[in-house]
Amino acid sequence: MTLWGNRMSAPPAEDMMAFTASLSFDKRLAASDVEGSMAHVRGLHKAGIVDSLELQELLDALQRAGDELASGVFEFQPGDEDIHTAIERRVRELAGTAGAKLHTGRSRNDQVATALRLYARDQLALVANLVLELQRTIERKARDAGQAYLPGYTHMQRAQPVTLAHYLLAHGWALARDVDRLLATLERLDVSPLGAGALAGSSLPLVPDEVAAELGMAKRFENSLDAVSDRDFVAEALFDIALVGIHLSRLGEEFVVFSTEEFGFVRLDDAWSTGSSMLPQKKNPDVAELARGKAGRLVGNLVGVLTTLKGLPLSYNRDLQEDKEPLFDAIDQVSLALVAMEGMLATAVFDTERMQLAADSPMLAAVELAEWLVGRGVPFRDAHATVGSLVRESLERHVPLAELLEAHPSFGSEALSLLEPGSTLRRRRTPGGPGPDAVALQLDSFGRQLGSDAERLAKWRR
Ligand code: ARG
């Protein structure tokens, strides 16, 4: 029997239930639903709607239903449309008359919105923590990298040498923005919808402020229509997660490229690589590739929910049930990806010799040569033209750049020191740049950022 069976003259069609039921996936809201229901019944007690004995019976029954669900002995019935229905049905079995008071002043509309917020609050804190763990590994690898350097690329063409630490930290800072975004989403979603009812509150003297406090939420909803129809927090969470996915994808792409024989900048650990079923010699960067691949799926989850929300009239519509699977999938997939990418990175070995060899090409010193002229009073545009011509000449006549420099009236042998391995990097002293001194400061500032983010996150971890 469904909760609403008495209204109908016929039992629900099986295929209708198969289409509309959400139990198969919203089971994972069980603990959050119990938490929301416990706060709700405490509110009913404060409002004088249930007495102390009934409150205790309700809390005991909710606790027991929750325990049964957690241990897997909970017996679902055919009428259990969703986890909320199933728990209420069980509470009524366990607590009789008191159980029949559980849903007083409440609708599944405010109930489900509450449970999903509580669930998202816990899960986003866990995701943010996994991002932090990856960042700590990036920080460690950056410290281990010392003064090693590699070519920095624009347009995938060698541009200027950068320190390996600087390269790694670039990904670390993108992840820092992800943590910041997740924290902002957590702040915004920390609002209790309980007391909004189906859409228009209740004629009973409910106490939504106190219920919000019971839930440890910052405040209650301001508008009951908005409370039951708002899924902004789902869309925001999905965006935050999609962007984490995109950052992992971009890091993954570089590891795919850097681990090719052609680049040879990084060797992935065997435990974090896969083989080929046919080609015995293969060792493949599947973690990095799947991180890249999963990003598409994470973007899809975001676009799916935005599309569901678009054009929905106030207030609750059953379409909103489509918020859950994308959110659950996104949380699962990004968590797996974060852990796997952390493992891959932690065990990866950089071939700094190969990196440096690639970065030591004299062409990568071109802008330093131009800036060397600037230091001697030449306008940059003229200096750029001079070096550009020398580069072209070197390539066309197959003469080493060093030879041309030495013979050039504006340069001479003094400028040759700029072509010495690693020398251009040491000249790069601008703040936030890749020079060793600037990177040492950056490493400290990154460490401080991780420390303060961990502190900000602690508030949300339970
Ligand atoms: N399973 C539903 C959901 O996830 C619960 C709310 C159903 N409410 C309703 N009025 N039919 O949205």
- Kindly write down the DSSP assignment for every residue of 297-365, as one continuous string: HHHHHHHHHHHHHTTPPSS--GGGGGGHHHHHHHHHHHHHHHHHHHHHHHH-EE-HHHHHHHHT-GGGG
66 C-alpha to center of ligand 1: Å? Answer: 20
SS3 state of residue 147: coil
pLDDT category of residue 59 using cuts at 50, 70 and 90: very high
| DSSP 8-state code for residue 12 | P
Sequence-distant (≥ 6) Cβ neighbours of residue 83 within 8 angstroms: 22, 23, 26, 27, 29, 30, 33, 69, 115
Residue-range domain boundaries for the chain: 13-104, 109-202+221-357+442-458, 361-420
- CATH topology classification for 361-420: Ribonucleotide Reductase Protein R1; domain 1 (1.10.40)
Which pair of structure tokens corresponds to residue 272? 């974090």
- Tell me if 83 CB under 6 Å of ligand 1: no
Q: What is the pLDDT of residues 60-89, one digit of tens each?
A: 999 999 999 999 999 999 889 999 999 999
Task: Identify the DSSP state of 284.
Answer: B
Confidence of residue 322 (pLDDT cuts 50, 70, 90): very high
* 90-123 tens-digit pLDDT: 999 999 999 999 999 999 999 999 999 999 999 9
Cβ count within 10 A of residue 299: 19
Indicate whether residue 333 lines ligand 1 (CB < 6 A): no
Q: Which of 211, 213, 420, 226 is nearest to 313 (CA)?
A: 226
Q: Is 45 in the pocket of ligand 1 (CB under 6 A)?
A: no
Ligand 1: residue whose CA is nearest its atom 2: 321
Residue 1 has pLDDT above 80, yes or no: no
Instruction: Name residues whose C-beta falls within 8 Å of residue 271's C-beta, 6 or more positions apart in sequence.
Output: 343, 347
Tell me the pLDDT band of 462, cut-offs 50, 70 and 90.
confident
Residue 137 in contact with ligand 1 by CB distance below 6 A: no
- pLDDT of residue 179 exceeding 80, the answer is yes
What was the pLDDT predicted at 55? 98
Neighbour count for residue 24 (Cβ, 10 Å): 11
Q: Is 276 a catalytic residue?
A: yes
Ligand 1 near 112 CB (within 6 A): yes
Cα distance between residue 80 and residue 88, in whole Å: 9
If pLDDT is split at 50, 70 and 90, which confidence band does 38 have?
very high
**Residue 287 to residues 157, 341, 344, 441, 457: CA-CA distances in angstroms?**
25, 7, 7, 32, 27
Q: Is the peptide bond before 192 cis (omega within 30 degrees of 0)?
A: no
CA separation for the pair 59, 108 (Å, rounded): 19
320 Cβ inside 6 Å of ligand 1: yes
How does residue 197 score in pLDDT terms, banded at 50, 70 and 90? very high
Cβ of 224 below 6 Å from ligand 1: no
CB 213 within 8 A of CB 42: no
138-168 confidence digits (pLDDT tens)? 999 999 999 999 999 999 999 999 999 999 9
Read off the pLDDT of residues 300-319 as tens digits, 9 standing for 90 and up.
999 999 999 999 999 999 99
> Is pLDDT above 80 for 57?
yes
What are the tens digits of pLDDT across the range 233-261?
Answer: 999 999 999 999 999 999 999 999 999 99
Q: Is 53 exposed, middle or buried (0-12, 13-18, 19+ CB in 10 A)?
A: exposed
Q: Which two tokens mark 297? A: 């799926």
pLDDT at 257: 98
pLDDT tens readout for residues 415-445: 999 999 988 898 889 999 999 999 999 999 9
Q: Nearest C-alpha to atom 11 of ligand 1 is from which residue?
A: 318
CB 432 within 8 A of CB 441: no
Distance from the Cα of residue 143 to its chain's centroid: 24
Residue 197, phi-psi category: left (phi > 0), alpha (psi -120 to 50), beta (remainder): left
Tell me how crowded residue 388 is: count the other CB atoms within 10 A of its CB: 12
Q: What pLDDT, on the 0 to 100 scale, is given for residue 372?
A: 95
- Separation of alpha carbons 73 and 321, rounded Å: 26
Query: Is the Cβ–Cβ distance between 65 and 80 less than 8 Å?
Result: no
Q: What is the mean pLDDT of residues 250-277?
A: 96
CA distance 57 to 53: 6
Centre of ligand 1 to C-alpha 193, Å, is 14
Q: 118-135: buried (b, 16+ CB within 10 Å) or exposed (e) per residue?
A: bbbbbbbbebbbbbbebb
Q: Which of 9, 52, 71, 155 is catalytic?
A: 155
pLDDT cut 90: percent of the chain above it: 93
Active-site pick, 24, 276, 413, 445: 276
Would you place residue 2 in the very low, low, confident or very high pLDDT band (cuts 50, 70, 90)?
Answer: confident
The Å distance, Cα 343 to ligand 1 centre, comes to 40
- Ligand 1, atom 3: closest residue by C-alpha: 321
Kindly give the number of the ligand 1 atom that is closest to the alpha carbon of 82: 1
Could you tell me the distance, in angstroms and rounded to a whole number, from the CA of residue 38 to the centre of ligand 1?
A: 19
If one looks up domain 109-202+221-357+442-458 in CATH, what number appears?
Answer: 1.20.200.10
Nearest residue by C-alpha to atom 7 in ligand 1? 108
315 lines ligand 1 (CB under 6 A): no
How far apart are the CA of 18 and the centre of ligand 1, in A? 14
Cα 201 to ligand 1 centre (Å): 17
If one compares 26 and 5, the residue with the highest pLDDT of the two is 26
Query: Does 461 or 68 have the greater pLDDT score?
Result: 68
Question: Whole-number mean pLDDT of the chain?
Answer: 96
Instruction: Please report, in angstroms and rounded to a whole number, the separation of the first and last CA atoms in the chain.
Output: 36
CATH number of 13-104: 1.10.275.10
Q: Ligand 1 atom 12: the closest Cα is on which residue?
A: 321
